[in-house]
Amino acid sequence: MPDLALQDDTHPLPSVRIFRHTTHSVAGWAFLQHAGLKGSSALLPLLQKWRRWHRGSPVSAPPGNDRFGRRVVTFSCCRMPPSHELDHQRLLEYLKYTLDQYVENDYTIVYFHYGLNSRNKPSLGWLQSAYKEFDRKYKKNLKALYVVHPTSFIKVLWNILKPLISHKFGKKVTYFNYLSELHEHLKYDQLIIPPEVVRYDEKLQSLHEGRTPPPTKTPPPRPPLPTQQFGVSLQYLKDKNQGELIPPVLRFTVTYLREKGLRTEGLFRRSASVQTVREIQRLYNQGKPVNFDDYGDIHIPAVILKTFLRELPQPLLTFQAYEQILRITCVESSLRVTRCRQILWSLPEHNYVVLRYLVGFLHAVSRESIFNKMNSSNLACVFGLNLIWPSQGASSLSALVPLNMFTELLIEYYEKIFSAPEAPGEHSLAPWERGSRAAPLQEAVPQTQATGLTKPTIPPSPLMVARRRL
């Protein structure tokens, strides 16, 4: 049995995914223990029942977030076993256990309706009682419920449950007839979509051949605006902002949060209105000033900061560093900080400076954790996947541990990792710190018109200080 002592409450557990010919996951054992079945003799019958779900569990929590920084949980009806094989009360316990990993933060549920039939459909009475069991903590932070491939059954069910469902909760439900409609709201390639659902969607699309296809909500690629701030590279932002190294959006949000949000409980854990986020993005992209005081919610600039990082064409830590970061768990504990320094010094100069600015702020947030409840570990869970992701596809569940560990080390040991080299000529200096071609960092940057905020003085890079000593 896996060592459950390795589990950390601050790191979201993956959902149970037990297949006929594979071993169970750590989260699977955690769920069985959570259900009070601690002895091996009690575990075996239930484990065998779960293994009969050879196509996998209907509930999954893929790594990563939606486009608004919220964790995503999916439920696939096609993976529901026949009713006579399933203890629906046990399913409810498992579903609540999975959601318990996320309900303290804002989250999204994607419900794939295809595959629900007379053999695996739960009774309406059970659905009513199940809805009542999900108390306020599950409903409050559920920001969106996406129903994919709805049928008439959904409409009947909705009418039955309507007296129990508040108007506010009903506004969170959105129906999608095709998988392609999810692109606007989710990182589609990160979703765990059963092949049966994909084939069914293709069949629906083929039935509509010859008719006007459903409108796509993803706008075609177009050249960025001269004042564009989101979805463009650091180099583009530098060129368009008079050589400023720190992007205006990052600088403005960090400055605002330093002044007014350091002690806000749950900072970076809450989402914001989709309409508000898009409005602020539009203002920034048009070069217009943004005053967060007008919105009256300290979580809005926090969401804008995460959105900016997530929409960079290349992660701040770069694609090239991804594999190196994944191997951080193989490094001896006492050497991990040194290894982090070496990885960062291989970054391009611009990325290093921006990262140092951001992590310095996150370190300041962690020092106020007695008030904001956001220590370095909690911040790492939020920012890990916003700082680094692979060039192809999505990060796997197994990658979450090293990615979050690396991010936590950066925040916890900020002064040591971003300090100047201990001796001149240290062998692990970044390439841009060697030789006569190394370009000096700009220490005085003009005021930007995009925010109307005077740029705070940025201290010279510690590696630049070391070079000057030479």
36: left (phi over 0), alpha (psi -120 to 50) or beta: left
- List, as one string, the DSSP characters of 129-142: HHHHHS-HHHHHSE
At residue 238, does pLDDT exceed 70? yes
- For the segment 434-445, the average pLDDT, to the nearest whole number, is 36
- For the segment 436-461, the average pLDDT, to the nearest whole number, is 41
- For the segment 218-246, the average pLDDT, to the nearest whole number, is 85
Q: Which one has a higher pLDDT value, 427 or 134?
A: 134
Residue-level pLDDT at 274: 83
Q: Which one has a higher pLDDT value, 218 or 417?
A: 417
At residue 466, does pLDDT exceed 50? no
Domain spans of the chain? 57-202, 234-469
- For the segment 359-383, the average pLDDT, to the nearest whole number, is 95
Q: Which one has a higher pLDDT value, 134 or 358?
A: 358
39 Cβ neighbours under 8 A, 6+ residues apart: none
At residue 56, does pLDDT exceed 80? no
Q: Quick one: 57-202 is in which CATH superfamily? A: CRAL-TRIO lipid binding domain (3.40.525.10)
Q: What CATH number should be reported for the domain whose range is 234-469?
A: 1.10.555.10
* Side chain identity at residue 219, one-letter code: P
What pTM, to 2 d.p., does this model score?
0.60
**Over the stretch 289-325, which tens digit does the pLDDT of each residue have?**
999 999 999 999 999 999 999 999 999 999 999 999 9
- For the segment 270-299, the average pLDDT, to the nearest whole number, is 92
Please list the helix, strand and coil fractions of the chain in percent, rounded to the nearest 5, in that order.
50, 5, 45
Calculate the average pLDDT of the chain: 75
